[in-house]
C-alpha cells in the first residue's frame, strides 16, 4: 500500500490539518487508512478528538525534535513507516522543513511526499529537490483572489487549493474566556462552539437585533450596564454564541433569565470595552487546529478545489 509523508517548506503551514483532511476524505470513500500518531509532540486535543479518530492509529515517537534530529531517530522513523505501510494506505507527517532530509526519509521508507505550502515562489526549486518522491502539492492558506489564478495554471501535481478561511483562525467561546481571563456568570455547552466574528455593542444606530444578525457565530462584547444591547444580542436568531460583559458589572436578572432560556453563556471581565477589544486581537496567534468544525470547513474547501486525477495518482486510488 502507498505510504505518504506530508511535509512542508516552512513550519506552521497546516500539515496536521492536511493530514486530517486526507484521512477524512479517504474514510468517506470507504478506503482503509492508517496514520502514525506523531513523530513529535502534537496537541492532545488534536490527537484525542480529531484526525486520529479517522484512522487506525499507530503509535509514534512522542519526544523527537524533527528540527534537530539525530541520524538514529531518522532511521527509527523510516523503519516505523516501512513496517506499517503494508496493510493500509499510511499517512504520516514530517516536521522537518529540510527537503533533503524529507527526500532521504521518503527514499529509505519507500514513501512519497505530499507537499503543503502557502506560496508558489519556491515550488520549482522544491520539485527539483524532491524529484520523483514528490507525489503532489496542496496550496494552503491561499489568498482568495489567487485561487482561480492557481487553478488556471493547471499544474498536474497540484492536488488541491485550500483558501484562507475564518475557521482556521477562530477560537471557541471558552478559549476567549481563558484568553480574556474572564469568568462565567452562566455557562452552557455553547462554550465549545467556534466564534467567527466579534461585534462590539456601543452606539448602535439600527435596532440592535439587526446589528447582531448581520454576522454569524458572534461573540458580543457589551458593557455590563447595557441590558438593551444584551437582550438585543440574545434575540439575534441564534447567531450569538456568547456575551462578554465589561467593566465588571453584572447584568440585571432578566438578562440572566434570557441567557439561561437560550443557553447563551454570560462572561464577565473587569476591563472596559475598549481595553477588552484590544485584548481580543491577541487570540488569533493562539488558534490551533483543534475543532471538528475546522476540519469540516477545510475538507469542504479541499473537495471544492481538488483535482480528482491528481488525488487518484498521489494516493494510488486507481490501483486499489
DSSP one-letter code for 87: S
Q: What is the rounded radius of gyration, in angstroms, for the C-alpha atoms of the chain? A: 23
Q: Which residue has the higher pLDDT, 43 or 140?
A: 140
Which residue, 204, 209, 224, is CA-closest to 269?
224
What the block records as the C-alpha cell of 51 is 484526525
Q: How confident is the model at residue 60 (pLDDT cuts 50, 70, 90)?
A: low
What's the pLDDT at 44? 47
Kindly report, residue by residue over 87-118, the tens digit of the pLDDT: 788 898 888 888 998 999 899 899 999 999 98
Q: What is the pTM of this model?
A: 0.84
Beta-carbon count within 10 A of 156 CB: 10
List domains and CATH numbers for the chain.
3-168+288-319 (3.40.50.300), 171-286 (3.40.1390.20)
Distance separating alpha carbons of residues 320 and 300, to the nearest angstrom: 24
Amino acid at each position: 500500500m502507498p505510504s505518504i509523508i506530508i511535509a512542508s517548506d516552512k513550519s506552521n503551514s497546516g500539515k496536521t490539518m492536511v493530514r486530517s483532511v486526507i484521512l477524512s476524505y479517504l474514510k468517506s470513500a470507504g478506503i482503509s487508512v492508517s496514520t502514525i500518531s506523531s513523530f513529535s509532540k502534537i496537541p492532545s486535543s488534536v490527537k484525542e478528538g480529531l484526525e486520529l479518530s479517522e484512522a487506525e492509529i499507530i503509535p509514534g515517537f512522542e519526544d523527537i525534535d524533527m528540527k534537530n534530529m539525530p541520524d538514529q531517530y531518522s532511521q527509527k522513523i523510516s523503519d516505523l513507516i516501512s513496517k506499517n505501510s503494508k496493510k493500509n494506505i499510511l499517512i504520516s507527517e514530517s516536521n522537518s522543513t529540510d527537503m533533503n532530509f524529507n527526500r532521504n526519509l521518503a527514499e529509505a521508507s519507500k514513501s512519497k511526499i505530499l507537499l503543503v505550502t502557502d506560496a508558489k515562489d519556491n515550488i520549482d526549486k522544491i520539485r527539483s529537490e524532491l524529484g520523483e518522491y514528490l507525489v503532489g502539492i496542496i496550496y494552503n492558506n491561499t489568498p482568495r483572489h489567487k485561487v482561480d489564478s492557481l487553478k488556471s495554471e493547471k499544474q498536474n501535481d497540484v492536488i488541491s487549493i485550500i483558501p484562507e478561511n475564518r475557521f482556521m483562525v477562530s477560537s471557541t467561546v471558552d478559549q476567549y474566556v481563558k484568553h480574556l481571563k474572564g469568568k462565567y456568570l452562566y455557562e452552557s455547552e455553547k462554550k465549545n462552539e467556534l466564534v467567527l466574528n466579534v461585534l462590539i455593542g456601543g452606539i448602535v444606530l439600527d435596532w440592535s437585533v439587526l446589528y447582531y444578525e448581520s454576522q454569524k457565530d458572534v461573540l458580543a462584547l457589551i458593557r455590563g450596564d447595557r441590558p438593551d444591547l444584551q437582550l438585543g444580542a440574545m434575540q439575534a436568531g441564534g447567531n450569538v454564541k456568547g456575551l462578554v460583559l465589561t467593566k465588571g458589572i453584572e447584568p440585571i436578572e432578566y438578562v440572566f433569565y434570557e441567557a439561561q432560556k437560550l443557553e447563551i453563556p454570560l462572561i464577565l471581565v473587569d476591563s472596559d470595552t475598549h481595553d477588552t477589544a484590544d485584548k481580543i486581537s491577541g487570540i488569533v496567534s493562539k488558534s490551533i487546529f483543534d475543532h471538528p468544525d475546522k476540519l469540516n470547513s477545510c475538507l469542504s474547501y479541499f473537495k471544492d478545489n481538488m483535482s480528482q486525477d491528481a488525488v487518484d495518482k498521489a494516493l494510488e486510488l486507481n490501483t486499489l
